[in-house]
Structure 1
Amino acid sequence: MIKSGHLTYQQLKEKFRINSPWDMIIILVLNILITIPIFIIAHQNLIILDWAFHIDRILLFMAILVIIQLILRAMRRVTLISVIIYFIMLLYGTLSGKYGFQSVFEDYRSMVYTMSEDPYPQDIIISKLLPFPNKSKIIDAVEYQNPKIRNFAIMATAKHFKNVKGYHEYFTIVQAFAVFKEINTRWNYVSDPKGHDYIATATESLPYLSGDCDDHSIFMSACIKSIGGTMRLIHTKGHMYPEILIGEKKDLEKINYLIKKELFPVESKGKPINYHIDERGKIWLNLDYTAKYPGGPFMNEQILGALTLE
């Protein structure tokens, strides 16, 4: 005889048993909730074939959905326990600052948006380039450790995009975009003296936010480097512009969503996000003075040199 207050295994199963049709409804909901983060992780780490209409992603999602559905149906008697464990894991991730509810939501929203609003890659992989002109002068002119430059950058981050929620892993990039917005909405283009390539330091450009493309590139790079961003300068025939490193292809989905839906929705409406891919597979966005939003159109000139500002 079983002692009072103790449950047998069979009684425990019956206690957590959910009657039809609620068991199937819960299984379906749980399946979707589990499939989404698994699909996002698989999508970010597997090779995406880039088939037309994103059929490869759709097939991957459906395959994961079917597999999870079969597993959950096989263990439907303990579905309620599975639901509780799943939500405890996401709650722990949320409270610990790791992968939680907000992360799942942001990843899925960004991915779905990118599937309908693809960023546009430029077919340029930088490999064999010419020596960068005035390299030492330009490096010296990028005065990112100067307190005046850092104070300007801090002012820009306090002025723009302070209320953007989430995207903690892209905090520095959001602040860099704030600097871009402050500079590009105020920059006054002024040509060099005729017949001379005048290179202004970042602090020289600061008082009036004026100069040519070289001066803009130097000033933008200095300000963004002063708050932790990674910059490089691109040299083309008769032009120079800055680019910011945003990461790898998987990071592009979130940045694409941030620019078009959160930070620059008006400026980028109906326009693609342009980017370059370097020989290591890293993604760089254009921050030229001609661009109204990060990743704006290039001037479509052949790249002659690239200078990464470490």
Structure 2
Amino acid sequence: MINIKNFSFNNSIQKLRVKKPWDDVIIFILNILIAIPLFIIVHQNLIEFNWVFNLDRILLFLLIIVVIQLILRLLRTIIIICIFLYVLVLFYGSASGNYGFNSIYEDYDSMLYTMSDNPFPQDIIIAKLLPFPNKSKILAAIEYQNPKVRNFAIMATTKHFKDIKGYADYRTLIQCFAVFKEINKRWNYVSDPSDRDYIATASESLDYFSGDCDDHSILMAAAVRAIGGTPRLIHTKGHIYPEILIGSVNDLESINFLIKNVLFEKDSYKKQLHYHIDERGQVWLNLDYTAKYPGGPFMSEEILGALTLN
């Protein structure tokens, strides 16, 4: 006797099945769509093994590709349902503020952005895929909620540019530039021990305003974030430096005038501002210790990683 329920179920499954060779095409595309964002999420939360040539990241990506491919092939008879579940997960991520449609769009937009001739390819996919050196230690060291860091930042805002009028829209940025001025005029470069990296916390660096580039970046990022700015750290070959988000290209015109004609007139005289523009059109201004004004020259243009604090 034929089981009518099983026959009906199998018949429904067959209706959902995509015919060859389109099922293989859909599986390949779906694998790529799932693998890249999944790798970025896992990679950003992975402990840094620091294997040579980033082999740990390469093997992780290959493993994700293989596992997803095997799963999708096992589910090829219900591939349409898999697509529906994929879209459903993105809807949930968007609604909950986690990884959703906007995030995946930005990641794939980054990939296309790297292939263009844009002169400021920042936040590119390579910066997201390569491990940021000492990431977990640096994040822990950026103590923007530490009262000592917050009080220092407030002190800097009362010491510099307090009486600047007429730029209410850029008040927070002006205060962040006050922090920049106070840190950079006092910073004393001191190398790490020869046998290892020493990561100083922001509050520790406030004792002597001394350390190497990552110590300076940590202190700058912590103090800027403590008063409402949005900093990020850029990793280049042998160097780390801080940047600050100043807004759009239109905001850049106003900030350029402020820096060169109001805040840092002497230090920036006949000098240009150096910045990066990401694929979303956001402008990030250099805050490295090597200059006396925001937007000083880059020590290195080759960007290997970015760590945004928001």
Read off the aligned partner of 2:124 and give its amino acid letter: S
Paired residue for 1:235?
A: 235
Paired residue for 1:245?
A: 245
Contact 1:237 1:301 (C-alpha < 8 Å) held by counterparts: no
Contact 2:264 2:293 (C-alpha < 8 Å) held by counterparts: yes
Describe how 1:298-309 pairs up with structure 2 within 5 A: 298-309=298-309
Paired residue for 1:138?
A: 138
**TM-score w.r.t. structure 2 length?**
0.60
**Taking structure 1 as reference, are residues 261 and 189 closer, same or farther at Cα in structure 2, changes over 3 Å only?**
same
The structure that has the greater radius of gyration is 1
Distance in 2, matches of 1:195 and 1:256, equals: 41
**Taking structure 1 as reference, are residues 249 and 301 closer, same or farther at Cα in structure 2, changes over 3 Å only?**
closer
Contact 2:142 2:222 (C-alpha < 8 Å) held by counterparts: yes
Q: Does 1:123 align with 2:103?
A: no
Distance in 2, matches of 1:191 and 1:301, equals: 22
Read off the aligned partner of 2:215 and give its amino acid letter: D
Distance in 2, matches of 1:190 and 1:294, equals: 22
Contact 2:120 2:278 (C-alpha < 8 Å) held by counterparts: no
Contact 2:236 2:300 (C-alpha < 8 Å) held by counterparts: no
Quote the offset at 1:122 in angstroms. Answer: 5.7
Quote the offset at 1:300 in angstroms. Answer: 2.7
Contact 2:180 2:220 (C-alpha < 8 Å) held by counterparts: yes
Paired residue for 1:48?
A: none
Paired residue for 1:189?
A: 189
Read off the aligned partner of 1:209 and give its amino acid letter: F
Paired residue for 1:212?
A: 212
Name the SS of the counterpart of 2:232 in structure 1.
Answer: strand
Describe how 1:4-43 pairs up with structure 2 within 5 A: none
User: How many equivalent residue pairs?
Assistant: 190
Q: Higher relative contact order at CA 8 Å, sep ≥6: structure 1 or structure 2?
A: 1
RMSD: 1.2
Describe how 1:1-310 pairs up with structure 2 within 5 A: 123-128=120-125, 129=127, 130-310=130-310
1:223-252 Cα offsets, whole Å, 9 max, x none, are 010000000000011100000000011101
Paired residue for 1:17?
A: none
List runs of 5+ in structure 2 lacking aligned partners: 1-117
Select the structure that is richer in helix. 2
1:27-47 Cα offsets, whole Å, 9 max, x none, are xxxxxxxxxxxxxxxxxxxxx
**TM-score w.r.t. structure 1 length?**
0.60
Name the SS of the counterpart of 1:155 in structure 2.
Answer: helix
